[in-house]
Structure 1
């Protein structure tokens, strides 16, 4: 076949190394490569999407639904060879074997409606303005190294792309998603297969966050494991475990991950709370009582920290979730009264330490106040199942001069009790 002069048949030094460190861009575990692996992988992905998504969310044929296969028959070797001759280059292995498995595809994740077939795959610069705002010149300015192959139809204002100038030692081309709402070019993936694997993971995470988990088994066990890790001060382990439980549909785990993150960095936590609390399975998993006593003041403290009106934002976002909240126009006194009427109980010894710390803080003795709190932390224990740390330390106005960023982190890295002492 006649080679495209802009695409080298043999990788150059630039193509062999690529724009990143290949040691840090090794193939994703579980990413499909062969036709046989693609068949089983895509069959599983199809079944997951059909199970987790509503019928009106999937624009597929009755035949695809009946077969539990969101793709088509595989492209023949003749069709793939004809595509390569038209493009003037050999396709990367994982994408070539994908086409041999299914000549195009329907929905691939939550935002991509369909992949192009062999007859429609093309270079971006061959479209002559038909790709909307997507141009090869802009993509080169964004950092792509060579000609850009367009492999999807337009999805939710996005396209899937392969970079023919960024080639790994095994012949794979770097893959990207371009979306107008990023804006522009997204994360670089080592190969088409790695991009698909990441999209499948993102789909599972999004489905779990919405309470329609793809793989719900084991969610409660992971939630319990995450709580134990959090109380032992194993913060990174707890965050990871809560995320895995949330992906399996645990609303409580999604909430506790945000609470734990608040101690690490209070910025934008109100945004994260808003993201999880609008899902009904989160409120039902935690309970309105705890949300009233813990989530509402934490939401308001974070909004205030970021320079946003806490009363107006809380009333706007949480009114439909937590009943009885004051309105956005309510006076501060009304909010203070509401919050005082919804206290979060603390263990008696810790409550006593808080009172002492408040008295010291009021006199300006912030270091002494912290010493009292730090000594009491190892004896703190949850008084309800889904509590992992004393959020009052972040929300109490009197303690604000005491709990700086470093001390807030120290709170959750300090081991605490899993239950009340006998």
Structure 2
């Protein structure tokens, strides 16, 4: 089991001691990537101590808040308060957490929010508000949705949601999700929280992709992206091109909007591989301007080379498709896909099948998924232990 800061990565803190370890790691991550202005705001004492929290609440304070609320706190949140009575910088959009002195029911603290005129009214009226200063969002715990171990379901209500956000099993699960968002946002801006191992993850992801293990490959690339790897972020989007119909959103948000991704893989590659997919779905003048702003002045898109036998199979498929024999054309493509190969470390699948004006008409969503889940000819030469 992989450990970080003494806590299993696939676990959640439950006890006060586990929270102290977890929050110490979170503090170190935040201080490592925070910009100079935010570090200055935090002050020398917090920078030197490496702790974004406060002294933990004692049992008297915890008992008092439960008496004030008329309810026992869920154990994970109670342990959090015992580790630190309040917190700074809990998520990308939450700057402070409430303490035992001011945590309370949303209906008492923000009564206007409890009248949204829809089915979430009942939940809001009973919810416990645990966040304080934030960017138009609120962290809520639901005392009517309790797990077998006593944890209350958690939600984010934010001005940018049409209603409540995703449901989390517990306060700890919500914190973990926000920490992941914090890591993703910083990695996307080229400030990796934990860059070590990113290159190895990209290599492993490519090997898995060539074996046809698309889901595991995607997980490797996504993890590498969270570590700040522009190549990992790019390849995660390439994989998504075969698996997600709405990939144009990811091309815009995860590639064209991130200079460190373009720098890592080259503007020419983006122009050749992903821009055609983007412009198929977003063909307005604004889309062309977005591409130009991201990649600069580019001429005709380069054509990435294929091996002679694969290129010949594609020529045959194009000829058959132009003559109207789509079934035979796809058969030619399907026979060639397992033999596809590239020595380019940033190529994991034949994207030309999605971008070629003739061939792309043959590739249904089901066939696109088949392409990336089919082992390629080189996979047997790869180390089977990775």
Please report the TM-score for the alignment, with normalisation by the length of structure 2: 0.89
Is 2:278 the partner of 1:282? Answer: no
Q: Does the 8 Å contact 1:294/1:391 carry over to 2? A: yes
Q: Does the 8 Å contact 1:146/1:165 carry over to 2? A: no
Is 2:76 the partner of 1:94? Answer: yes
1:32 aligns to what? 13
Whole-Å Cα distance in 2 between the matches of residues 259 and 394 of structure 1? 11
Q: Does the 8 Å contact 2:114/2:124 carry over to 1? A: no
Is 2:34 the partner of 1:81? Answer: no
Is 2:386 the partner of 1:408? Answer: no
Using a 3 Å threshold, how does the CA distance of structure 1 residues 194 and 407 change in structure 2: closer, same or farther? closer
Structure 1 residue aligned with 2:316, among 356, 362, 366? 356
Structure 1 segments of 4 or more deviating over 4 A?
136-140
Whole-Å Cα distance in 2 between the matches of residues 184 and 116 of structure 1? 23
Q: Does the 8 Å contact 2:33/2:193 carry over to 1? A: yes
1:208-256 Cα distance to aligned partner (Å, 9 max, x none): 2332222211111110111111111111111111111111111111111
Whole-Å Cα distance in 1 between the matches of residues 119 and 52 of structure 2? 33
Structure 1 residue aligned with 2:246, among 268, 277, 285? 268
1:71 aligns to what? 53
The farther-off stretch of 110-119 and 394-403 is: 394-403
Counterparts of 1:9-408 in structure 2 under 5 Å? 29-57=10-38, 59-127=41-109, 129=111, 134-135=113-114, 141=120, 144=123, 147-265=126-244, 267-277=245-255, 278-301=257-280, 303=281, 308-309=282-283, 312-325=285-298, 338-339=300-301, 342-408=302-368
Whose Rg is larger?
1
Whole-Å Cα distance in 2 between the matches of residues 217 and 103 of structure 1? 32
Whole-Å Cα distance in 1 between the matches of residues 339 and 94 of structure 2? 50
Work out the number of aligned pairs and report it. Answer: 371
Whole-Å Cα distance in 2 between the matches of residues 377 and 142 of structure 1? 53
1:17 aligns to what? none
Structure 2 residues without counterparts, runs of 5 or longer: 1-8, 382-386
SS at match of 1:120: coil
Whole-Å Cα distance in 1 between the matches of residues 339 and 133 of structure 2? 56
Q: Does the 8 Å contact 2:106/2:124 carry over to 1? A: no
Give me the CA root mean square deviation: 2.4
Whole-Å Cα distance in 2 between the matches of residues 145 and 154 of structure 1? 18
SS at match of 1:159: strand
Structure 1 residues without counterparts, runs of 5 or longer: 1-27, 327-337
SS at match of 1:144: helix
Q: Does the 8 Å contact 1:382/1:418 carry over to 2? A: no
